[in-house]
Amino acid sequence: MAKSGGRQRPTLEMVAERAGVGRGTVSRVINGSSQVSPRTREAVHAAIAELGYSPNQAARTLVTRRTDTIALVVSESRDRLFADPFFADIIRGVSSVLHERDLQLMLTTARGEAEHKRVGEYLSGSHVDGALLVSLHRDDPLTARLAESGVPVVHGGRPYSEAQPAPFCVDIDNLDGARTATRYLVDAGYSRIATITGPQDMNAGVERLRGYRESMAGAGRGADPRLEIQGDFSVEGGALAMARLLDQGGNPDAVFVASDMMAVGAVRTLRERGLSVPGDVAVVGFDDTLMSRHSDPALTTVHQPTVRMGQEMARLLVDVAIPRTAESETILLDTRLVVRDSA
């Protein structure tokens, strides 16, 4: 009989024979059991290295009921994921913690009913140990679907609806950040302070508008619909919203913009209209992304600890939500105003 030309893939039995131990001992070493002596563990690891053995992940999953994989789901389009530095910082934070724990990150986007259904079915099929959900909108069904299927979930930002179950959540203090930004403009003596809001189907957008309104009311400024316009957290959205603000007759001398990307767009429109920043119109953003430091002029903005948000989300999922060491936990991260040249 002719021999196969291919090299046989090392097996668990071959590792056990090389190390001089039983097959069960090798399994315990691979799965991190403490019931193995240091000397035996060293012999097994040496045999694994010599043979080039790689554990069969599928078989290991059947035994341990774990995949060692965490999903990060961004409820936005792929274009938005790669354009907005907020998501890059979240991914950096999540990845740093998962790397420490030898866990894999699965990144996906879901926008629209068909994509939410596909992602929901996959995550509910025992392919991941847990999920991190970011940038949820009012119509996103993932929260309810994953709760029904028992998948451990941590939310990055509170869901829009209080009716949606979100026992584990890491959020930014959007309300206080917006209050602080608006109060700064009030205290600086600006009299016609406008706002470009975030999407009103997202909790962050709602809270930042609420903070603006509360500070305006606290300063005795009555509501003026000509000074409020909705944006979408994009550069182009900010540019269009700024144009509408100027065209509807509010004559703002300052504007609190609910994201740095929109603020960059707003500054572009102001310059196209022949207005200077901050000479004619002061601009304050929200995020403190890299672009805020390198825009012209550099943006005064609200700093939010986005990398830390990703880290806290990953830790909360791995240390609390998956092992069920608590029934619920919410972490609220503080913001601070960073004063630069735009206001």
Domain assignments of the chain as residue spans, ordered by start: 12-64, 69-172+307-334, 174-303
Residues 172-188: pLDDT tens digits?
999 999 999 999 999 99
- Tell me what the mean pLDDT of segment 235-250 comes to: 94
- The percentage of the chain sitting over the pLDDT mark of 90, rounded to a whole number, equals 57
pLDDT score, position 163: 60
Residue 78 structure tokens: 């792929």
Residue 116 has pLDDT above 90, yes or no: no
Mention every residue, 6+ apart, whose C-beta is less than 8 A from residue 137: 75, 160, 199, 201, 202
Q: Report the SS3 class of residue 331.
A: strand
Residue 33 has pLDDT above 50, yes or no: yes
Residue 165's pLDDT band (boundaries 50, 70, 90)?
low
Mention every residue, 6+ apart, whose C-beta is less than 8 A from residue 204: 157, 172, 174, 198, 258
Mention every residue, 6+ apart, whose C-beta is less than 8 A from residue 3: none
CA–CA gap between residue 330 and residue 89 (Å, rounded) = 20
pLDDT score, position 312: 97
pLDDT score, position 2: 40
Q: Report the SS3 class of residue 31.
A: coil
- Tell me what the mean pLDDT of segment 313-320 comes to: 95
- Tell me what the mean pLDDT of segment 125-131 comes to: 85
Q: What is the pTM of this model?
A: 0.78
Residues 190-218: pLDDT tens digits?
999 999 999 999 999 999 999 999 999 99
3-state helix, strand, coil in the chain (%, to 5): 45, 15, 35
Q: Average pLDDT over the chain, rounded to whole? A: 88
Cα–Cα distances (Å) from 84 to 28, 211, 326, in that order, read 44, 23, 33
Residue 1's pLDDT band (boundaries 50, 70, 90)?
very low
Residue 64 structure tokens: 């341990």
- Tell me what the mean pLDDT of segment 292-314 comes to: 95
- Tell me what the mean pLDDT of segment 238-252 comes to: 94
Residue 24's pLDDT band (boundaries 50, 70, 90)?
confident
- Tell me what the mean pLDDT of segment 309-335 comes to: 94
pLDDT score, position 28: 77
Pick left, alpha or beta for residue 274 (phi over 0 → left; psi -120 to 50 → alpha; otherwise beta): left
**Class at the top of the CATH hierarchy for domain 174-303:** alpha beta
pLDDT score, position 65: 57
Residue 261 has pLDDT above 90, yes or no: yes
Residue 5's pLDDT band (boundaries 50, 70, 90)?
very low
Q: Are strands 336-338 and 300-303 parallel, antiparallel or unpaired?
A: antiparallel
H-assigned helices in 127-252: 142-149, 174-187, 203-218, 235-247
CA–CA gap between residue 42 and residue 341 (Å, rounded) = 59
**Class at the top of the CATH hierarchy for domain 69-172+307-334:** alpha beta
112-121, 226-235, 319-328: segment of lowest average pLDDT? 112-121
CA–CA gap between residue 282 and residue 298 (Å, rounded) = 12
CA–CA gap between residue 229 and residue 224 (Å, rounded) = 11
Compare 97 and 36 and report the one with higher pLDDT: 97
CA–CA gap between residue 71 and residue 132 (Å, rounded) = 6
pLDDT score, position 64: 46
Q: Are 291 and 232 in contact (CB under 8 A)?
A: no
β-partners of residue 162 are none
Q: Are 71 and 130 in contact (CB under 8 A)?
A: yes
12-64 under CATH 3.90.1150.10, yes or no:
no
Residue 62 has pLDDT above 50, yes or no: no
Domains 12-64 and 174-303 are alike in CATH topology: no
Residue 244's pLDDT band (boundaries 50, 70, 90)?
very high
